[in-house]
Amino acid sequence: MSDVEKLVAAILAAAKVSAMGERPAGEYVAEYKSFLQILEKQKLEEIAALADDWPDLNAELNVEFNKKL
């Protein structure tokens, strides 16, 4: 997790909890951790989607390569 992602999670958590009114500090920390998990899950889903594209891409490259032979 990059520092930028941690900063984004902190900003989102602060905004969400602040919008709820006066809350204990523990809620800020809990929301921060929640947003970190959401960002990590999204990152993993994006990586998985890219990995799913590789077989198709490799197949296309193989077809193009074989055409040149």
Instruction: Identify which has the larger pLDDT, 4 or 56.
Output: 4
DSSP classification of residue 50: H
Determine the pLDDT at residue 10. 94
Rounded-to-integer distance, Cα 11 and Cα 14, Å: 5
pTM above threshold 0.85: no
Query: In the chain, what are the domain boundaries?
Result: 3-68
Taking residues 17-39, what's their average pLDDT?
A: 92
